[in-house]
Chains A and B, each alone.
Chain A
């Protein structure tokens, strides 16, 4: 009996591998079928208990391969089944092997009672291709048919778990002329679907990324409603934004705790070894709090009021739901988006112009928020952007956002570590560790700040500005006036 494992994103499958366990041994095989349906085993490891993250594996090759394919994601069983493999050699009159046959029976169920597939592979030998072709022909003559699917897939299909690409940046199929309400509706519906797809993983607490992605979906839905304004009646829009905000807020604390716990290695690395044990207490506290927080969040998510919020969102954004008129509802989305993008860019430039050594942190944060809005706009509507320039702009923007993010993380973390300390007021040991950590984070923040200045130069230089202007600034006669106030042409 084999159990197949993969992550929510099918990292192993799309990484060209299979991971299966049998009798307490995990095997990682490359999915090339060179050695039969179960691939070529590249590493294996005996494991007493269940393994979830790549860190839990012991052998170096296994860890290295899995880290690349899983990252932060956890493993869950995706299918179970039995494989029976039999090989036989076909020989010519001289007794030379001219062809090998490999029979596979794939069965489901604990005792392999349900046979799903019986297949025979003809494996030719180099220099004896003609013989293999004759064997294959003979087999088809006997009623064999080319398999529609490889056996592992058959098992996955039966388990209802076919590998599918997962992304937080799906294509929405938008065009310049798509009416704005239709465009926004499509985006929200898709993000809503992805958010709900992440829900079971949050409830099972399989890994931290389900919650992370769920929150991103909520944030994106919320922001598309303000980035492309007035496509639904104002009152309804406000209600939906509030609902999305409420949903996100419920999970704030859990996400914070995830972030600290994930950063554990990073934090410890920042401190000299002598100070590291000082933080044990804090991480113990965080772990304990997380235990509780997971349960609290799960029961909230399962709760009736939450279900109602989701139902409301689904209904509001459903394709067939009638809504009252709104100024931008029927305008083509392209010009609206171009205007919004250009406006954001100019806003960022004007904030950036005032950034110097002594700008308050608050301004840098504001810059980050604006940058994020611009990034979302360009992500949602990437299909409307010119291929080449769009990609280049997104790249510059991503780099800038990365720096701004570093700055923000360092500053938020200092604040909450100090909060934790104030609440806790325990032994001086912990204080020593926290003090050390906070000062390093402060330095990181300062460093990030000086790097921001450099990235900003690239982002605001005349050639980038000219490119934004050339692409996104529309002639005044275009059908919409401004993202803010839209009238009909």
Chain B
């Protein structure tokens, strides 16, 4: 079982769009996938039309695993289940801290789902907290959407700096370009430069597309209602690239 997470310090960069469509593509490709919506905003849950998770106690590793399991919802799509978001996940922070000084507790919790899933995909909120640190240490890869702007270069550097400070393996970071506008000169330039400065860039880029924005109207993954559009093809290509890189 692989654990992949979608993360960025910034909001609005396409994390959730990635999580939702990658989850769909994985399930469709025959990998049993669990999408874990850790963002209290619950955008991913919204796209899959699942209500927020029921309350449950997160007293220790066991009760957390049980609570998550009880909240698994089968999506409308093959091979894909969802654990919806929950305000209580904010208390994950405290809980995970309380459990031990070691910060890979989340990994141990998620290992309990090994028999049922090939991939667990985590949609993260855009901040650095104890929870996100836990997610980093639990993940086999961290997928970071990067809009090719000057600002995002800075946030990517920040993230890499944080990894260094916390002694996290830098190779976990797998940035990729998101919301790319081919006609923008700036986009093109940054896409030339950035992969040389920051290791681990995935080759596939997701174009900016009005079809993606419509996900909110459809309340479905893009791949479910516009499977042939450019962006949909890009998500599937990204899925293939991630699969082949992670040896699934």
Contacts and interface: CB of A to CB of B under 8 A. Distances in A.
Given A94-B51, A95-B49, A127 B71 contact: yes
B49 A128 contact: no
Contact of A96 (B71, B76, B81): B76
B48 A127 contact: no
A299 to B, nearest CB: 58
Interface residues of A, number: 10
B103 interface: no
A96 B72 contact: no
Contacts of B74: 125-128
A89 B76 CA distance: 9
Interface residues of B, number: 11
18 contacts: A89-B76, A94-B49, A94-B50, A94-B51, A94-B219, A95-B219, A96-B50, A96-B76, A125-B73, A126-B72, A126-B73, A126-B74, A126-B81, A127-B71, A127-B72, A127-B73, A127-B74, A128-B74
A94 B52 CA distance: 12
Closest 10 CB pairs of A and B: A127-B73, A96-B49, A126-B74, A125-B74, A94-B49, A97-B76, A127-B72, A95-B49, A127-B74, A126-B72
B137 to A, nearest CB: 28
A130 to B, nearest CB: 11
Interface in B20-66: 48-51
A128 B48 CA distance: 14
Contacts of A97: 76
A127 B35 CA distance: 14
A92 B76 CA distance: 12
| Residue in A89, A96, A127 whose Cβ sees the most chain B Cβ within 10 Å | A127
Contacts of A96: 48-50, 76
Interface string A90-103: 00101111000000
Contacts of A127: 50, 71-74, 81
Interface in B105-157: none
Given A94-B49, A125-B74, A127-B81, 15 more contacts: A92-B49, A94-B50, A94-B51, A94-B219, A95-B49, A95-B219, A96-B49, A96-B50, A96-B76, A126-B73, A126-B74, A127-B71, A127-B72, A128-B73, A128-B74
Interface of B: 48-51, 71-74, 76, 81, 219
A128 B219 CA distance: 19
A89 B81 CA distance: 17
Contacts of A95: 49, 219
Interface string A399-427: 00000000000000000000000000000
A101 to B, nearest CB: 15
B122 to A, nearest CB: 18
Interface of B is mostly: loop
Nearest to B219: A95
A102 to B, nearest CB: 16
Nearest to A92: B49
Contacts of B71: 127
B50 to A, nearest CB: 6
Interface in A104-127: 125-127
A97 B77 CA distance: 10
Nearest to A125: B74
Contacts of A125: 73-74
A27 to B, nearest CB: 21
Contacts of A126: 72-74, 81
Nearest to A96: B49
B80 to A, nearest CB: 11
A230 B80 CA distance: 73
B221 to A, nearest CB: 13
Contacts of B219: 94-95
A89 to B, nearest CB: 8
| Residue in A92, A96, A125, A128 whose Cβ sees the most chain B Cβ within 10 Å | A96
Contacts of A94: 49-51, 219
Nearest to A93: B49
B43 to A, nearest CB: 14
Contacts of A128: 73-74
A97 B219 CA distance: 13
A96 B220 CA distance: 10
A309 B81 CA distance: 68
Nearest to B49: A96
Nearest to B70: A127
B206 to A, nearest CB: 26
Contacts of A89: 76
A450 B81 CA distance: 63
A126 B50 CA distance: 12
A108 to B, nearest CB: 33
A38 to B, nearest CB: 19
B219 to A, nearest CB: 7
A92 to B, nearest CB: 8
A94 B51 CA distance: 9
A97 B72 CA distance: 14
A97 B76 CA distance: 6
A94 B72 CA distance: 17
Contacts of A92: 49
Contacts of B73: 125-128
| Residue in B49, B50, B71, B219 whose Cβ sees the most chain A Cβ within 10 Å | B49
Nearest to B84: A127
Contacts of B48: 96
A378 to B, nearest CB: 46
Contacts of B50: 94, 96, 127
A126 B32 CA distance: 14
Contacts of B72: 126-127
A88 to B, nearest CB: 13
A128 B71 CA distance: 10
A55 to B, nearest CB: 32
A418 B219 CA distance: 82
Contacts of B51: 94
A100 B219 CA distance: 20
A89 B75 CA distance: 12
Nearest to A124: B74
Contacts of B49: 92, 94-96
A467 B81 CA distance: 61
Nearest to A127: B73
B217 to A, nearest CB: 12
Nearest to B220: A95
Nearest to B71: A127
Interface string A124-166: 0111100000000000000000000000000000000000000
B160 to A, nearest CB: 38
A139 B168 CA distance: 56
A96 B76 CA distance: 7
A94 B73 CA distance: 14
